Structure 1
């Protein structure tokens, strides 16, 4: 019996030893597998932009064929986050056109991005962007952190999330405490699929309550900040968010403009070119950085007749605007560009439609081929209303088609300058994307948007009024009414036209300076309050006084206009003060009444005298010169180079 018992004990010990050895071997094999984890690197599409991925650092795999020009890249070495990730990787030399794995790291936005041609990719320039990124080759060691069986699950950082080994993810997903927290939840709630546009993950993921029975404090923290795990891989909880969760941009304050896009919806453009036109708009608004403190954009589509798709205040960020543009459907009909420009001039830039007043008004007119109506005159009216008109003409008329063009060279004549700044002539719709950055740069160059500074809102106008005894009280009131009639024609504010006045006899008096009143009602009221002085006539001294006391405080970017009104010959010399006015850039209009000397008026007036000196027999006929003086001021303004 004792022998049997000993034999049985020996058998049991032998079995235990076998099991122990097998277990040790199994653990070694498991350890070997864990030591050689296989990285799961998501593949993205060629058109995925870095800004669409919220992680500050991530690894992705690019497919082949991302060298195509349609995948836009902005910058060299450091790229704007609006760039294609894979296109930038090829441009930087990290990848070739066959694709591969890359490591992307976000960095701060740059004040400018320089375009260059490298490795078959043409990158574009960009004035500024809110975020940048740099690219390096496949680096996996930093991500290889194999877990040891039996350890507690820890939260995964964003930089680890894109490259967690499958073995580690599987171990975490099947460890007992974690499994308990999943299975104990009666109704798992779907979070949803990964965005198709971002192209990183597709499996549906689920969340369950972190307060499930058996969940440890570490696991509860993991649910708050860590990823959601499945046996098919790992999806970071944060990565389910899209770009819309980033802080909403207030827009680029260096490009504060109110912009109207007039897009061609005529039948002749066709569906394919209409889609290219919409993509061009999307690219422009993405590069502009839309926001309430920066540029605002509305769209008008024209065909037979124009219609507003949305106004300036409808969409306050680039993403919403992009979505709205993609939903625009083609109207069809003729290409009545002139009617569309007239519509924008009368209706679009109103306060009710979101016009901000202090921001330059810009209209970008897209034209396929040529207009079917006249555009030159309506464009002039638009410019004189304070609108900077840009033309983008695509695939203009061939030689045999020019007979059908209503106004030859319409694009160069419709804009305010013939130096090419306000017009783009694009040979093909397929090359339209090359115009994005030049157009963005020009519409944001507010110092050169001279067409929004018209003759009505761009000057400091100083009236020098004769208050001598020969004028008389009644006629002096008539002179003041003339001054008021001229002033009413201008747009008056601190940033637009400003009005000042000097009265003179033997002496001089500053009635009010340019910075005294900032509205039209206040200016008209101030003119009415000017009191008649009476005395002699020292016109030369009055001009010198106006230069020193009035125009010396004129703003550098303002046109300086002096309008002198007198009824007699001066007691002093006017030639030297008139020359001083000319040298200081003051444009002088000399208005003579009754006994004024015409030869003296011509000396005072800016050359040519016929455009700047006027004579009237009676005070009561002064009002007749108001339209002519305004016309001359505007004609001269529009003829001067301003960019």
Structure 2
């Protein structure tokens, strides 16, 4: 791990590594020298260039697997670069376009024009907005991945060469293709890093297959889906595709969409700053150790980096509990991850005693989040390592009443039936075998906490 260019030569290192059969994971942070990292692994190894130390958690699992199970003799040179990009311009945008046999060649040419017009107004770059595209047909095609092209010019050239897929309008299969294949790190997706993922569906008629499974999958991943109807205005079907009815748009024809879609270009496509209130409820009872709480603290601070805290938009608080609960950080107390880390360092400690999860959640919902602005998306992230000592049965109704989303994370000996009860009226539960696995949840939690209202959250393990 290094945060700057080497003062001495690194040229002899690859031969030395090869001679002694040693694998190298070269992690450069901030102002590290990319060429030096590449030189270090020129005979085999992995280099990572990170813009911030908080991103180290993103590479933990892959380093463990490679270090334990991949001998140095089989290592190939591979590079990964992760960046923290402020604001909403680090969005991943997916176009799902109708290329079925019911769309004429002339109309598909208009589809290419529509997509090109929208892309022209985007800030397309590897460290800004990335674009992918799926063409709908009998067998949907992933024609463009997020990492297919380095810049806007190459991307627009590829869009200009798109061809229809033909066959029935299997939109449901296309939505599942996006969820299961397109939104993967090896395809350039940054959803696991907390980037906002937006899907724009351009449809010329009624889908030939069921869209429920695919739409539910994307919604569960925290993906924001908009549905554009061109010559197709069945709002009930389009609403079943979109994240909400406010994301349904209709035009009389593809030509009408071309001429009237100027409002869909440029900054209007990026999500506005959202108001959100997120409270972490952390079990500090006798079921958790001090070292495990340090991991939890790192996880919460990492989440704070991705949430872009600000008093007028995203506010974060932390509650600890055992037999009793205590507010460690209020919703208006801190404005930066650095402040949060400093505050938690001395107060997030084991308290021992019982594990009264029901009592802690009741306090959090009624005394903290219920008082937040109505236009703010409100979420609770529960982290617990054992079964609750009191009843959690009333919590689901309380969450629903106050429109609060719950992410119930159980670690080690947590009770899965209690987790399921907590989200029985909507929410997400996760059961992890170890606290180190928390970091895998950061990206999807950020998207869901910021952009998915509780009324759209489903029970998903």
Q: Does the C-alpha gap of structure 1 residues 507 and 343 become closer, same or farther in structure 2, counting only changes over 3 Å?
A: closer
**How far apart are the structure 2 equivalents of 1:637 and 1:270?**
38
Q: Is 1:429–2:254 an aligned residue pair?
A: yes
Q: Which residue of 1 aligns with 2:416?
A: 623
Q: CA deviation at 1:344?
A: 0.3
- Between the aligned partners of 1:361 and 1:597, the Cα distance in structure 2 is 33
**What is the aligned counterpart of 2:198 among 359, 362, 366?**
362
Greater relative CO (CA pairs within 8 A, separation 6+): 2
2:140 maps to 1:324? no
Distance in 2, matches of 1:612 and 1:328, equals: 40
Correspondence 1:413 to 2:240: yes
Deviation at 1:302, TM superposition (A): 2.0
Residues 284, 440 of structure 1: 8 Å contact kept: yes
- What SS does the corresponding residue of 2:272 show, helix, strand or coil? helix
Partner SS for 2:156: helix
Match of 1:495 in 2: 306
1:308 positional shift: 1.5
Corresponding residue of 1:11? none
Aligned to 1:266: 100
Tell me, in whole angstroms, the C-alpha distance in 2 between the residues paired with 1:562 and 1:319.
42
Q: CA deviation at 1:364?
A: 0.9
Could you tell me whether the CA contact under 8 Å between 2:99 and 2:166 is conserved in 1? yes
**What is the CA deviation profile of residues 23-71 of structure 1, one whole-angstrom value per residue up to 9, with x for unaligned ones?**
xxxxxxxxxxxxxxxxxxxxxxxxxxxxxxxxxxxxxxxxxxxxxxxxx
Distance 1:413-1:333 versus aligned 2 partners, 3 A rule: same
Note closer, same or farther for the CA distance 1:627–1:442 as it changes in structure 2 (3 Å cut). farther
TM-score (normalizing by structure 2): 0.53
Q: Per-residue displacement from partner, 1:275-319 (whole Å, max 9, x unpaired)?
A: 111111111111224223432212111211112212112223332
Residue aligning to 1:283: 117
Task: Tell me how far 1:437 sits from its aligned partner.
Answer: 2.2
TM-score by length of 1: 0.39
1:375 aligns with 2:211: yes
1:511 to 1:272, Cα distance in 2 relative to 1, 3 A? closer
Q: 1:385 aligns with which of 221, 226, 238?
A: 221
Q: CA deviation at 1:530?
A: 3.5
- Could you list the per-position Cα deviations for residues 442-498 of structure 1 after superposition, in whole angstroms to 9, with x for gaps in the alignment? 763322689xx9xxxx84322466x5xxxxx6xx569xx9xx99xx9xx95642698
Q: Deviations for 1:530-555, whole angstroms, at most 9, x for unmatched residues?
A: 4625899xx79x959x979x999xxx
The CA deviation string for residues 335-358 of structure 1, in whole angstroms up to 9 with x for no partner, is 101100110011112221112334
Instruction: Name 1:532's counterpart in structure 2.
Output: 352
Following superposition, the deviation at residue 389 of structure 1 comes to 0.8
The alignment partner of 1:320 has SS state of: helix
Give the whole-Å Cα distance in 2 for the aligned partners of 1:306 and 1:322: 20
Matches within 5 A, 1:221-300: 255-300=89-134
Structure 1 512/332 Cα, relative in aligned 2: closer, same or farther at 3 Å?
Answer: same
State how far apart, in whole Å, the 1-side matches of 2:424 and 2:273 are. Answer: 24
Helix, strand or coil for the counterpart of 2:203?
strand
Q: How does 1:53-68 map to 2 (within 5 A)?
A: none
Q: Give the superposition deviation at 1:253.
A: 7.5
Equivalence map 1:126-141=2 (5 Å)? none
Residues 556-591 of structure 1: per-residue CA shift (max 9 Å, x gap): 9662438699x9xxxxxxxxxxxxxxxxxxxxxxx9
Matched, 1:314 2:132: no
Q: Are 2:275 and 1:460 equivalent residues in the alignment?
A: no
Which residue in 1 is equivalent to 2:3? none
Q: Provide Cα deviations, 1:76-128, integer angstroms capped at 9, x if missing partner.
A: xxxxxxxxxxxxxxxxxxxxxxxxxxxxxxxxxxxxxxxxxxxxxxxxxxxxx
Query: What does 1:94-133 correspond to in 2, within 5 Å?
Result: none
Counterpart position of 1:632:
425
1:222 corresponds to = none
With over 3 angstroms needed to count, the CA separation of the structure-2 counterparts of 1:425 and 1:561, relative to structure 1, is same
Q: Distance in 1 between matches of 2:181 and 2:204?
A: 24
1:465-476 to structure 2, matched below 5 A, reads 476=287
Cα RMSD after superposing both structures: 5.4
SS at match of 1:447: coil
User: Aligned residue pairs: how many?
Assistant: 311
Kindly indicate whether the alpha-carbon contact (under 8 Å) linking 1:257 and 1:362 is maintained by their aligned counterparts in 2.
yes
Look up the SS of the partner of 1:495 in the other structure: helix
Q: Distance in 2 between matches of 1:437 and 1:305?
A: 31
Shift of 1:259: 0.8
Other structure's SS at 1:628 match: helix
Separation (CA, whole Å) in 2 of partners of 1:535 and 1:348: 41
Shift of 1:361: 0.6
Tell me the SS of whatever aligns to 2:97.
strand
Whether the 8 Å contact between 1:341 and 1:379 is mirrored in structure 2 is: yes
Give unmatched runs, 5+ long, in structure 2. 1-84, 308-313, 407-412, 429-451
After superposition, residues 592-603 of structure 1 pair within 5 angstroms as 593=389
Alpha-carbon separation, structure 2, partners of 1:612 and 1:559: 6
**C-alpha separation between the residues in 2 aligned to 1:297 and 1:564?**
34
- Quote the Cα distance in structure 2 between the aligned partners of 1:365 and 1:446: 16
- Aligned residues of 2:134 and 2:140 also touching (Cα < 8 A): yes
